[in-house]
Amino acid sequence: MRLGAYTACLHDRPLTEALEILRGLGLDSAEINSGGFLPPAHLPVERLRSSQEERDEYLGLFAAAGVTLTALNCNGNPLDPNPEVGPRHAQDVRDGIELAALLGVGRVVTMSGLPAAEPGGRLPSWTVEPWHSVFLDARDYQWGEVAVPFWKDVQARAADADVKVCIEMHPHNVVYNPATLERLVGEVNATHVGAEMDPSHLFWQGIDPIAALERLGGLVYNAAAKDTRINPAARVNGVLDDRFRRVRPDEPGAVSLGGRYTLSRWPEDSSWDFVAVGRGHDVAFWREFLRALDKIDPGMAVNIEHEDQELDQLEGLRQATETLLEAAGRP
């Protein structure tokens, strides 16, 4: 099993420096952003597509650092009805598969996407708990007319390239839990579309990641190490907390997510937070998590995703790495 990190949290540093940081922490795997919500800061896409010589030189940077490039990541919304966002993110998925094959990387991580609730809709609409049949109408449109056709095409491209596409089960997507992942796999007869196991989004939904791994088994192709802390506010407001605030695109520190979209401002007294590995669940959990992954694929890559807003880049990575290495029984 390879333990590493998704380098998006080091986007402001050159790739060589980012790789040195990972290796210095005792990690040997890197996941690199290739598009989607975030720009490919560590991946010169067009240059790498241009020649084998360029690709060899790029992969040589990883070899020199003692780190393996294990996945490309293009998390975004490929089904967004916004013409400035959806088509570009969809193309990033297709390009990611092509580039992964050229680089000899067997995994592309992404999200399943979320369309509008009806034809002509302008905004994505998440349909959950469809107790009223109107929501079933929306869900049937989203799956039957948008998601399934798109993912059938992705499955065909991934199979041709022999690249596994790993869907992060993320709320505000059509696939957000094991049941919806299994549904998509069945609808598109997938052989090269499966799951990325990121437990952070499962924690706050009340899903046991270990039970999810046991259920999905060989459909899990890749894993993220990201933790979630459930806060006391969840006892009052539950985990479906809509007290987020808008961040204008021109505000200092605004994070663009494509088009006019930005990352919203988190509630001050939030129901839950993403935290560094070990700050939400202890070493005992992460040891069990790694064991469950090892049963599925002993060679699987597990890459830290650092989104702890209470810790800076290096401290968050350091704390996460220490927990993960201890859980893996590595000095």
pLDDT of 251 reads: 92
Secondary structure (3-state) at 194: strand
Residue 33 pairs in a beta bridge with: 73
Token look-up 């979209």 returns 261
User: Cα separation of 310 and 312, whole Å?
Assistant: 7
Mean pLDDT of 19-40: 97
Mean pLDDT of 282-291: 98
User: Cα separation of 207 and 204, whole Å?
Assistant: 7
User: Cα separation of 305 and 274, whole Å?
Assistant: 10
Judge whether residue 252 has pLDDT over 80: yes
Judge whether residue 52 has pLDDT over 90: yes
pLDDT of 80 reads: 98
**Residues 254 and 278 sit within 8 Å (Cβ to Cβ):** no
pLDDT band at 1 (very low <50, low <70, confident <90, very high): very high
pLDDT of 258 reads: 86
Mean pLDDT of 176-203: 98
Judge whether residue 282 has pLDDT over 80: yes
Average pLDDT of the residues of the chain: 96
pLDDT band at 299 (very low <50, low <70, confident <90, very high): very high
From the list 124, 40, 120, the residue with the least C-alpha distance to 79 is 124
pLDDT band at 60 (very low <50, low <70, confident <90, very high): very high
Q: What is the pTM of this model?
A: 0.96
Write out pLDDT tens, residues 76-131.
999 999 999 999 999 999 999 999 999 999 999 999 999 999 999 999 999 888 99
Task: Report the percentage of the chain scoring pLDDT > 90.
Answer: 95
Judge whether residue 331 has pLDDT over 80: no
Tokens, residue 236: 């009052």
pLDDT of 259 reads: 85
Judge whether residue 253 has pLDDT over 90: no
Cβ burial of 320 (10 Å; 0-12, 13-18, 19+) is buried
**Residues 125 and 114 sit within 8 Å (Cβ to Cβ):** yes
Mean pLDDT of 138-145: 97
**Residues 223 and 166 sit within 8 Å (Cβ to Cβ):** no
Tokens, residue 177: 């839990």
**Residues 184 and 151 sit within 8 Å (Cβ to Cβ):** yes
